[in-house]
Structures are given as C-alpha cells and as structure tokens.
Structure 1
Amino acid sequence: MAFWDNPRHGGNSFNRLPPDQAYFDALSGYGATWVRLSYDKWQPAQRDFLLGDADDYQGLPAGDLAILRATLDRAHQAGLKVVIAPLSLPGMRWSQNNQGQFDDRLWQDKRYWRQAEAFWRDVARELKDHPAIAAYNLINEPAPEKQGGLAEHAETVQMQQWYAREQGGARDLPALYRQLIAAIREEDADTPIMVDAGWFAAADAFGYWPAPLEDQRVLYSVHMYEPYVATSAPNMTRKQPIAYPGPVAFAGQIQQWDGQRVERYLQLPLAWIAAMNLPRSRLVVGEFGCMRRLPGCKQYLEDVLSVLDRNQLHWAFYSFREDNWDGMDYELGSAKVPWRYWQAIEENAPDPLPRNGTPEFEPIRKRLNPD
C-alpha cells in the first residue's frame, strides 16, 4: 500500500494485442510509474479472456493466464506497477464484446455475484505474488444504476434516496465490493484493491455511499470525461462539434464548461473522501481524456490535470498507444491516422505508426516527467 502514499501518474492500456516490451519501456520512459491494464480485447482461449465465459464462470483458462503473466513480466521489466482492470465480470460482459448491448445481469441476479467472487478469488491466488501488481481494480466502470431507475448526474439527495431503496439488493454496488474483497482476502491479505464509483465511475457517484468500505487497503477511483457530450467520440461526428470551453448540455441543462467548472465538478469526490475521513492518497482518477482532434482537447487536458496535480491525486490518462482506436492517442497529434493503421487492425498485426511529442500530448508529458 505504501506505493500509493505519494501521487502516482500513469496511463491506461486497453490494447487489442498484449503490449510488448517496447510499449512498456516507452510509457516508463516518459516518467510514468504505473499502468492500468485491461486484457478484455486480447484473443481469448474461450469466449471471454481470463473469464472463459462471462455467462458461466468455471475457472481461469490456463493459456489466458500465461499470456497475462508474461505481460505483467514485461511491465515489471520496464519498472512499472500494474493495476489489473477487467472490463467484464460474470453476468456483466463488456458491451463492446456483447454486440454493443449493456449487460445488466450482474445487477439483477446475485448468482453472478458468487461467480464474480470465485473469479477474483482465483485471480488473487494466481497473481498475489507477482511483483508488478499494485492493485486489483475490481471492475471497470460499473453501472448498476443505469437500468435501475437513477438518472445520471442526479442530485446527491436523489442518489441517496435511490440507494436507500436498493440497499441489500443486486444493485447495491458497495455490497458487491464487500463480497469481492472478502473473497480476495481469503487468498491475498495485502494487495490494494481499487473500486470504481457507479454510473460508469462518474466523479459524482460516490456521493450516495453512506460509508467507506471496511477494508483498510482500498483505493477509490473515478473517471473524468465530463462534459462527455463535448469530450467523446460522438461529438466528432457532428457537422459542428460542440466546443470546449463553452456551453454544453450536462445533467439536463446547458452549462458553461471551462477550467472553473471542471474544478467544481472534481471537488465532489474530494469532498466525499474528506467526509469519510479518508486521506486524499486513497482517491484515484483512473481515467480521463478527450478526443484528440477536438480543437479544445489540449486545454481540457490542461484544465483537468491542473486540478488533479493541485490536489496531489493519483491519475492515469486514457490512453497510451491504443492499437485499435486512435481517438485519445495524443501522441498522434490532431491529424487523421493513415490507412495502414486500420489495415493493421484488420490483419491483427501490430500498430505500425510511429509516436512522438505533439502539442496535444504536452499537458500529460510535462507532468509525467516534470524535469
């Protein structure tokens, strides 16, 4: 847990191929100290990588586990710590591996909770002694609220009323986390555990939690893409993309979003951490980013990072050299990628594009290595 006592800065790896040594060396070379690693896009031995089958978990496929271990070895060789971040659990298959459909089963039926316990118990048993592991991120961007009757970015009082109704049921996210943590602790007493807030890890979604989790080795994670209608891929398909800074639709109204609004929004998880009597070193911004081709993206990154660093928070930018989506790969600058990038995806070949310093990447680069 001592690794997390000081602010740690890194990147997200959501690649379609297990990253090679050069990938991890490059991230470390920028000054990053950790990587948040997802494996769900890798070629699985069965239906779902490492899970086998998210419909019915029966154990860790040996081949998948070997690929993950070898990847962890490469990260360790580069001097990086790793946070494992699955995008799927039993009963909650990641939508991009599920024909684009949101999978709500985990939030309806607790038999999937038991399968998720078995999965994390097995992962902890297998990986607890690996020197690269810095935390287990139990599930990326859970959203039990999405089909449960709670509006996104609802007022805190509304969130609390919703949780009072759902507490003890299958949509009780803190309760699921308690069960998964208990399963992990049967095998691994020491490794820190990272938990995302609900509503896709929204920075305001810890607001309904009445208490922190009992385990003393927990990190609380939020993601920052707000205002999403401006920072996300759909905005780039508009004839005239919504600008940042500027007036943006958020929580059912038009608001001016700029550096000050970003700061006010990010005060919400800081206020929750303080109210729970937890140190700020327990709060992580596990993802943040914007579409690199949006003219205001560099300013957005600067505004977000200014708040994070002023408050000495851990962070990981999204994303580092993603080999199947270029939208938030800031080293590519603001130009379109050439055809050979997409051809490599079709051929399942390594990403062929060179990367270098760009103005779009500068807000991140200068903070990864301030010297």
Structure 2
Amino acid sequence: MRRSVGLALATLLMTTGAAGTAQAAAPARGPVAAQAAALTRLHATSSNAFVDSSGTVHKLIATNIQPLWDANSTDTWGQSTYDSIKAKGFTAVRMVLFWDMFQPTEADWNETAFTTLSTAVERAKAAGLYVILDTIHMSGSPDGQEHVPDWARVTPTDDGSVEGLDAVVENGLGFLQTVANRYQDEPAIAAYDPVNEPFRSSTKSARLLSDYTQIVNAIRAKDSTTSIMLEPSYGDSKVPTSSFSSFTPTSRSNLIWSVHDYYNGDPNSANTNGYDANGLGQNPNPSDGTTGYNSANKAALASHLQVQLDMAKAESLPVWIGEFGIGSGATGHDQYIKDKVALYKSKGVDYAWWEYSSDNGNGPFSMVDANENWRSWVSYLF
C-alpha cells in the first residue's frame, strides 16, 4: 500500500536508447511455458493468473515501468531497455499510465501519448515481454487524484460519501474503454489493471466491488477476453468474501485478484495479520522507501498474505502481486526480497517489483543505476 507515497514522475531525461498462520499448499500450476519467440494470448483460471490456450501456465515475473515521461513527447525507453529486462529474467512489465496525459480535457484525446504507449508496447513485445496495463494509476493528493485530469476530479467529502475512486467511476470509464478498444486484439497485453490502489475506504469494500462491477462491464463492452485485475482498496486492504455480493458483472471470466504487498511483519503492531480493525493494511511499511525489515518477522509475511489468498480462493480468483519493494537504503533490504520471493514461490504466486527506474536511477526502489546497470540484488528476484 503506497497511500501516502506520491509517484516521482521522474526527471526522466533518459535518451530513447537507454533505459504466522499455517502455510497452504501452492496451487497446481500445470506445465510451465518455455521461452517462445512469439507471444500467445493468455487467460486466467480460478487458480492460475496466466494460462495459454493449451493449458500451459506462464510465470509472469515483472517490473513496473513508466513508459511515458512527458505528455507531449514521444521519448520513451529504447528497445535495448526491454531487451535487457527480458535478458535479466523478467517475463513481463507492468506499465504505469497517467490518465491526465491521455485525456487532458473531456473531449480531447492526446494522440501523442497513445503513440508513445504503442511504441512501448511494441518494444516490450519485440523483447518477448508480456504487458500489464496499469491504466489509471491513482496516487498522491488529493485522495489519489494526482494524475486524474483536472476536469475529471471530484472533491472528497469529510463524511466519505465522495472519495477519489468516484472520479474514475463517474468520469474514467470512457478512458478505460478507449484503451481496451485499442488493445483488444493484442496478445502481448496479458491483463488490464484498470485502477491502481483504488481510493475507497477499507470499510466500504462492498461499494468498491460495486464500482468494479461498472469498471469490468465497461471494459467488457469493448474487449470480451483480455483479463482484468481487481485490487483491494489502496492495494492491500482486507476484503471480506461477503462484500462480493456487490460484485455482479455480466461475466466473471478472466479476472485476477491483484495485491500490493509491502507488509514487513512489524512485531510491534497490535493488528491481526497486519490489518487493523477496519481492514486497512499496516502503515508505515517499506512502500515509503525508508522503512526496513527484520528477518525475525518472516512468519508474519505469510500470515498477512494468507488473508488475501484465502479470500481469493473462496471467490475462485487467482492472485498476482502487482507491486512489492523496499527502499535501497532500508534495513534488511536484501533479506526482505529473499523472504518475499520465497513466500511467493511457495504459494505459486507471481509478482512485480516496484520499479525499474525513476529519477535517472536514483529512486529508492530503482533496480538500475543512472547508466541502466543492474544492481547486484536484482538476482534475488528470481
């Protein structure tokens, strides 16, 4: 959960050529795909997030990456960046998009932004990387609307009747449909993640799932097959299965539960499994770039994740970790990565690191330096 952390929209001046509880058994995953030159369309099953038409499971280990740096420029990561990501061992990228770059006014589409995105998708595809489109990336203020176009923003109310996610539900469905319409036939798009860390109070999970009903139906009106990810409030809130009575899309096929797992297992927390009485995930956590990790808390990592796994299993949804990470200077950095990755592997869950690079490689989560050289700890991600 990065609720209090604003995205550093990089001073990206890169050139286009640079770049506790009992453990449950992991779900049966079937044969794992070998590397292939061409990408094939994937779909979701109740236990696996990414499967091809032959039933072969594809392991999508990804990094988050920002493909657009300036709404009015086509500068973006070069082919060598995506080739390097693939060569390092990643099989996918989660592309972080900012709605205000694409739809500056209600009536206008910024085709420069769409062109840049198309270039990025094609380069990822050419490298053999699948793409998850983080389509409306909510973060920052007010109430997650830092990158919501001015015309589409809502004014949050003290009583919580209006929250940041209302901007998406009221004004953003057209943007989601436009993206879906453009990419409905692209096999490199493994899934849409329509709303990053939706700003809806953790006590309003039924309303959140009602919102997702509208979001899923809007996308399905343009794209009937590409998988769609659902996230809990702020990416890591506890959602009771009873709230799913509000989730009534026209189709529940090809859906994935996506969690942002920054939990560090703080033993001083009085919260059960890292969630407070309102179901909100513990904060602060390593998503702030400075909070560290004590390896003595390893068992708590599993206890926290199991809450999400149990709920998803009850709803026949596979799980994918859309974000996790820890700041480069934080205590226990390397061990945190090792323990998280070991946990994910034991559960048969794939994941994405936050992030490839920001601020010319100086961002706290960056896997590369300013010259795009991989940092030594990246090998722990595999």
TM over 0.5: yes
Shift of 1:125: 1.2
Contact preservation (8 Å) 1:223, 1:285: yes
Q: Tell me how far apart the structure 2 counterparts of residues 87 and 288 of structure 1 sit (CA, whole Å).
A: 18
SS at match of 1:189: coil
Contact preservation (8 Å) 2:143, 2:199: no
Residue in 1 that maps onto 2:258: 221
Change (3 A) 1:16 1:63: closer
Change (3 A) 1:52 1:356: same
How does the TM-score come out when normalised to structure 1? 0.70
Is 1:298–2:331 an aligned residue pair? Answer: no
SS at match of 2:172: helix
Which one of 356, 362, 371 corresponds to residue 379 of structure 2?
362
Q: Tell me how far apart the structure 1 counterparts of residues 293 and 356 of structure 2 sit (CA, whole Å).
A: 22
Contact preservation (8 Å) 1:10, 1:316: yes
CA displacement, residues 193-241 of structure 1 (integer Å, 9 cap, x when unaligned): 112111x11053466633566521111100011235352446x4xxxxx
One-letter identity of the residue aligned with 2:284: V
Q: Tell me how far apart the structure 1 counterparts of residues 348 and 125 of structure 2 sit (CA, whole Å).
A: 25
Alignment of 1:81-160 (within 5 A): 81-88=130-137, 94-97=144-147, 107=163, 113-145=169-201, 150=202, 159=203
Structure 1 segments of 4+ aligned residues over 6 angstroms from their partners: none
CA displacement, residues 219-268 of structure 1 (integer Å, 9 cap, x when unaligned): 1100011235352446x4xxxxx65207xxxxxxxxxx611111111111
SS at match of 1:225: coil
CA displacement, residues 63-120 of structure 1 (integer Å, 9 cap, x when unaligned): 211111111111111111111103447x98855548xxx9765737968524222111
Residue in 1 that maps onto 2:363: 326
Structure 1, unpaired ranges of 5+: 41-46, 151-158, 237-241, 247-256, 333-351
One-letter identity of the residue aligned with 2:371: L
Alignment of 1:22-61 (within 5 A): 22-40=80-98, 48-53=100-105, 57-61=106-110
One-letter identity of the residue aligned with 1:265: H
One-letter identity of the residue aligned with 2:352: A
Alignment of 1:176-325 (within 5 A): 176-198=211-233, 200-202=234-236, 204-205=238-239, 209-211=243-245, 214-227=251-264, 228-233=283-288, 236=290, 243-245=292-294, 258-276=297-315, 278=316, 282-323=318-359, 325=362
Report the identity percentage. 20
Is 116-125 or 285-294 further displaced after alignment?
Answer: 116-125
Higher relative contact order (CA 8 A, sep 6+): 2
Contact preservation (8 Å) 1:8, 1:313: no
Q: Aligned pairs, how many?
A: 292
User: How much is the aligned-residue C-alpha RMSD, in angstroms?
Assistant: 3.1
SS at match of 1:86: strand
Q: Tell me how far apart the structure 1 counterparts of residues 43 and 168 of structure 2 sit (CA, whole Å).
A: 33
Residue in 1 that maps onto 2:116: 67
One-letter identity of the residue aligned with 2:341: L
Change (3 A) 1:265 1:319: same
SS at match of 2:177: helix
Q: Tell me how far apart the structure 2 counterparts of residues 76 and 286 of structure 1 sit (CA, whole Å).
A: 19
Residue in 2 that maps onto 1:76: 125
Q: Tell me how far apart the structure 2 counterparts of residues 96 and 179 of structure 1 sit (CA, whole Å).
A: 22
Contact preservation (8 Å) 2:142, 2:164: no
Residue in 1 that maps onto 2:268: none
Q: Tell me how far apart the structure 2 counterparts of residues 112 and 9 of structure 1 sit (CA, whole Å).
A: 28
